[in-house]
Chains A and B, each alone.
Chain A
Amino acid sequence: MRKNPADREATPTLLRQLAQEKLIDGRQLVDALRLIHAHADRSAWRAFADKLLLGIGTGLIVAGAIFFFAANWDAMGKGARIGLASAIHLIAAVAAAKIGLHRPAGRAAAAGAALLIGPALLTYGQAYQTGADAWELFAGWAVLSVPFAIVVRGSAAWAVLSVLVRIAVLFFAEQHGFGADGLLGVAIAMLFADAASYIAALRLMRRDTADPNNQGARGPTLFLLLGVVSAAPSLFVTIMADASVAAVHSGVFLLAAFIAHAAGLVNAVKNGRTQETAIIGLSACLHIGTTFARVMLHGSRLDGPGLFIFGAFILIEATVLAYALTLSLQRSRARQATSEGVTP
């Protein structure tokens, strides 16, 4: 049974559509948007000040601490520097525990504590001249941040962890002089690491992800998104790499990518997770398109008919993606309707 259309939730998009259909005029649209709080009121500005000032303030203090220790100020002894860096980290963690993770200030302090692991490790590296292998610093930092990401379970903590892992891998590849061939190996490892961490994140945070208002609900999705974004450079390498050098690796990489994406897409559609369907679907399109482009480019077949086939192929991909998204949306809405006791 379809609901009465006027009994729907008034959204800004719907109201704008009514205005474009001349069912309400400009003045009424302004009032309606204000009524549904689509424009910022005092509470919105307050929330903005709360999050933005806290976020930028914490970020600046942490960055200031990193810059201070990077300066390697010789007026301070090495013991004092390591002690100070460790103490700041510990103070941030204690402050977070004291304030509580239910408050924004507590979560910011906890994220700060995770970020301040870096200065503690870098002062040790400076004091004992352990070498400038940046990847070791970031890898250690990432590993030690994992418990913080699990405990804090905010999207920011997951984003920090994800960025640290990727920086560590990139520095590792750079410092070990990996060429296109080696980078593909790294890309395969990253793909599986992403898939594993995503599954782990979903398992650990299944209650959070069920509640969209929860701070940590977007954490795993964010992790997935960063994974897809960071896969793009390795895909570029896949296209451009010399066919004779990278043929085996790129074949293995793309096959692994197909399997991972197919499994992810089926799982996301089946569970009605639309956001994930969109991300994994786009990533799948990127991977399949890359394979196609690689075949066409190395076979020098990117002429008129080649362009047509490629264009048509991408449109087929888009149609499949649109179908998967529609299916996912239907399942998501059906699930929501069932939980609200309404027949869709």
Chain B
Amino acid sequence: MILREVIAAVGGSPSVVENRMETRWRSFSDPHPWYVQSAIAVTIWVGAMFLGGFFLSLVRDDQASQLALGVGMLVAGAILSRSTQGIVRLHLSLVTYAGATSVLFFLCERVSGLGDAETMLLTACTQVVCFLVIAARPVRFKAALGTVLSLWGAAMNADNRGFIDALIVGVALLAALAWLFEARLSAMSLGRSVRPAAFALSLASLWVSAFTFVDLDEARLHFPLVTSGALAVLLVIVALVAARESKASFRSKSVLLAFAGIFGVVALASGSPAILTAVLIIVLGRLRKEPVLEILGITGLLGFCVWLYYGLQVSLLWTAGAMVLAGALLIAARALILGGFLGSMKRSVSDRPFEGSVLSPILARAQPLRIFERRAMLLVPASVVVALVVGLVVQKEHVIREGRPVLLELGPRDPRSFMQGDYVVLRYSDSAAVENLLNNNEVKASYDSVFKIDAQGIGHFDRLDPQGPRSDDEIRIKLKKRAREVSFGATSFFFAEGRGTHWENARYADLRVAADGTTVLVGLRDASLHEM
């Protein structure tokens, strides 16, 4: 919508706005996109920190000069930051921030008998001063964040006594209020500081509540249920405001479902305030259409859920069941809200996958394919995956059926793989002998190993030989090299979750060896050579 129309629609005077914008066109010029601002801010921030560090290092040993320099930088920066614009303002403000740090160092060194909690409170006060006097938004963000983190540090060092609980609820409440009344507060005299403070409070809220997961006595909640209850009430209030602002009927199925979802989250996360905080940040982010806030909340929520999951130590099968059920419920809820599983129809060029690409002329010539094109394009790679898996299975089955059996002695260990489940690491007893040969450069690494098979079918390493076996009781096995370790087959054996103790007695790997020396592990055997 055009600015003139908007101003007129809300009862303002477009001509006054136009005049002011004409006279101060520079300050009303189009702001840079967020990524441009961020790119400039990050580099300037680092530069200012180092320059501030340089000034401080000049007067490191003289406390009076340190105080004078700190106060001087703070005052000069505060005045100049208000009379300048853009990058210059940002830079001056950051140098001023370094001045404040200098004052803080001076105070900490001069005031004797200052405990950790008092130092943290002093730091919080310095941050508040920076927030009030320095007029650059990044500094105000940093100062607001620093204030909360310093208060959190003070609470941890003051025997806690429920301060952490109060801080989590207090910061969440302030963040919620800042976002709910953001527009009205923005029109006030300190309006420029509202959004940086709101972002900082949201981030601090997630940060502080994240530490409730850590096994740290100082950060432990004294009243977890009360804290969760307070956050739940806050979440419900924000949801009610959201429903009111979007003019939704409180009896509509979408609103009822949203509240059911909120109560579900509250019930499941009653002992984990961090999860409620993350959900609150997501809802606030959507309410004010702030994607950064939404991403922050979603990242926090995912992280907290993973953290919680590892603390619970639930079996993989139960987790899988719970996840699939929860996923199905969410998709069903979506279908209920949108009135169908498929959701909104949004056309895009993705409908014709190769349009505009190097393949489009070929596809244009193949007109009969066009109707089928979209489906075919997706089904081809899917079919390739299935065909590949089938091919690999057939090849392994062939080796298992036709390969020569051999048992190799081992000494197992038992970790768990990321994604693949529980397994024992297989370390072949004869590997050390081969590694010695290779490390001493006695043979080439490209040689195959030759094993002699005894009457029980157990293979014993004999030599590394480019020509392979020379008699019937010998067998060639290709070496598998991994960093400095050598093995003769699979280096692990996967088993069902929770069956680790059963496989502890494994002493031999049961292999099938193909004619080219490759192996397939078909099972493990105990010390009596019985299949396990």
Which B residue sits closest to A38, measured CB to CB? B289
Q: Beyond the given A28-B12, A30-B183, please list 10 additional residue pairs across the A-B interface where CB-CB is below 8 A.
A: A6-B17, A67-B319, A90-B382, A101-B348, A127-B393, A129-B521, A144-B381, A144-B384, A307-B51, A329-B36
**A71-B317 contact in complex given A20-B187, A57-B334, A129-B493, C-beta closer than 8 Å:** yes
**A311-B497 contact in complex given A6-B17, A274-B33, A321-B40, C-beta closer than 8 Å:** no
The CA of A214 and the CA of B497, in the complex, are separated in Å by 44
B246 touches A101 (CB 8 A): no
8 CB contacts below 8 A, A to B, read: A10-B5, A20-B186, A26-B187, A53-B331, A71-B316, A101-B350, A128-B521, A282-B43
Which of B315, B324, B348, B425 has its CB near the most chain A CB atoms (within 10 A)? B348
The CA of A304 and the CA of B355, in the complex, are separated in Å by 58
Residues of A within 8 A of B49 (CB): 311
A110 touches B378 (CB 8 A): yes
Chain A 85-116 interface residues, beta-carbon cutoff 8 Å to B = 86, 89-90, 92-94, 96-107, 110, 113
CB distance from B28 to the nearest CB of A (A): 6
Chain B 159-200 near chain A by CB (<8 Å), digits 1 or 0 = 000000000000000000000000111111001100100000
A151 touches B334 (CB 8 A): no
Chain B 479-500 near chain A by CB (<8 Å), digits 1 or 0 = 0101110000011111111010
Is the C-beta of B466 less than 8 angstroms from some C-beta in chain A?
A: no
The CA of A110 and the CA of B351, in the complex, are separated in Å by 13
Residues of A within 8 A of B254 (CB): 45-46, 49
Which A residue sits closest to B298, measured CB to CB? A52
Question: Interface-forming stretch among B101-109, B222-230, B338-346, B456-464?
Answer: B338-346
The CA of A144 and the CA of B69, in the complex, are separated in Å by 61
Residues of A within 8 A of B384 (CB): 144, 147
**Residue in B17, B33, B87 whose beta carbon sits within 8 Å of that of A322 in the complex:** B87
**A103-B10 contact in complex given A14-B28, A71-B317, A206-B356, C-beta closer than 8 Å:** no
Which A residue sits closest to B422, measured CB to CB? A72
**Residue in A46, A53, A65, A285 whose beta carbon sits within 8 Å of that of B43 in the complex:** A285
Is the C-beta of B369 less than 8 angstroms from some C-beta in chain A?
A: no
**What is the interface of chain B, defined by CB distance below 8 A to chain A?**
1-7, 9-12, 14, 16-18, 20-22, 25, 27-28, 30-33, 35-36, 38-40, 42-44, 46-54, 57-58, 87, 91, 183-188, 191-192, 195, 242, 245-248, 254, 258, 286-289, 315-317, 319-331, 333-334, 337-338, 341-351, 353, 355-358, 374-375, 377-386, 388-390, 392-393, 396, 417-423, 425, 480, 482-484, 490-497, 499, 520-522
Chain A 47-94 interface residues, beta-carbon cutoff 8 Å to B = 47-50, 53-54, 56-74, 82, 86, 89-90, 92-94
B323 touches A60 (CB 8 A): yes
The CA of A177 and the CA of B314, in the complex, are separated in Å by 32
Residues of B within 8 A of A63 (CB): 323, 327
**Residue in A41, A99, A137 whose beta carbon sits within 8 Å of that of B342 in the complex:** A99
B247 touches A26 (CB 8 A): no
A53 touches B520 (CB 8 A): no
Question: Interface-forming stretch among A118-126, A188-196, A232-240, A254-262?
Answer: A118-126
**Residue in A31, A39, A68, A94 whose beta carbon sits within 8 Å of that of B288 in the complex:** A39
**A71-B381 contact in complex given A35-B10, A57-B331, C-beta closer than 8 Å:** no
CB distance from B279 to the nearest CB of A (A): 11
Cβ-closest 7 pairs across A and B = A207-B356, A311-B50, A60-B327, A64-B323, A93-B382, A177-B483, A147-B381
Residues of A within 8 A of B347 (CB): 102
Which A residue sits closest to B396, measured CB to CB? A128
**A86-B187 contact in complex given A60-B326, A102-B345, A134-B420, C-beta closer than 8 Å:** no
Which B residue sits closest to A310, measured CB to CB? B50
B contacts with A: majority SS: helix
Residues of B within 8 A of A205 (CB): 356-357
A50 touches B53 (CB 8 A): no
Chain A 243-284 interface residues, beta-carbon cutoff 8 Å to B = 274-275, 278-279, 281-282
B320 touches A8 (CB 8 A): no
Chain A contact patch, size range? 35 or more
A19 touches B496 (CB 8 A): no
Chain A 1-41 interface residues, beta-carbon cutoff 8 Å to B = 2, 4-10, 13-41
Residues of A within 8 A of B348 (CB): 101-102, 213-216
The CA of A22 and the CA of B321, in the complex, are separated in Å by 57
The CA of A206 and the CA of B356, in the complex, are separated in Å by 7
**A64-B320 contact in complex given A122-B419, A307-B50, C-beta closer than 8 Å:** yes
A325 touches B245 (CB 8 A): no
The CA of A137 and the CA of B57, in the complex, are separated in Å by 52
A45 touches B246 (CB 8 A): yes
Is the C-beta of A211 less than 8 angstroms from some C-beta in chain B?
A: yes
**Residue in B187, B320, B392, B491 whose beta carbon sits within 8 Å of that of A132 in the complex:** B491
**A72-B421 contact in complex given A20-B192, A129-B521, C-beta closer than 8 Å:** yes
B351 touches A102 (CB 8 A): yes
CB distance from A142 to the nearest CB of B (A): 13
Which A residue sits closest to B380, measured CB to CB? A147
Which of B47, B192, B286 has its CB near the most chain A CB atoms (within 10 A)? B47
Is the C-beta of A186 less than 8 angstroms from some C-beta in chain B?
A: no
CB distance from B477 to the nearest CB of A (A): 15
Is the C-beta of A203 less than 8 angstroms from some C-beta in chain B?
A: yes
Residues of A within 8 A of B35 (CB): 274-275, 278-279
Is the C-beta of A295 less than 8 angstroms from some C-beta in chain B?
A: no
CB distance from A205 to the nearest CB of B (A): 7
Which A residue sits closest to B8, measured CB to CB? A6
**Residue in A20, A45, A325 whose beta carbon sits within 8 Å of that of B32 in the complex:** A325
A153 touches B350 (CB 8 A): yes
B11 touches A40 (CB 8 A): no
The CA of A206 and the CA of B359, in the complex, are separated in Å by 12
Is the C-beta of A338 less than 8 angstroms from some C-beta in chain B?
A: no
Residues of B within 8 A of A89 (CB): 382, 385-386
Residues of A within 8 A of B31 (CB): 13
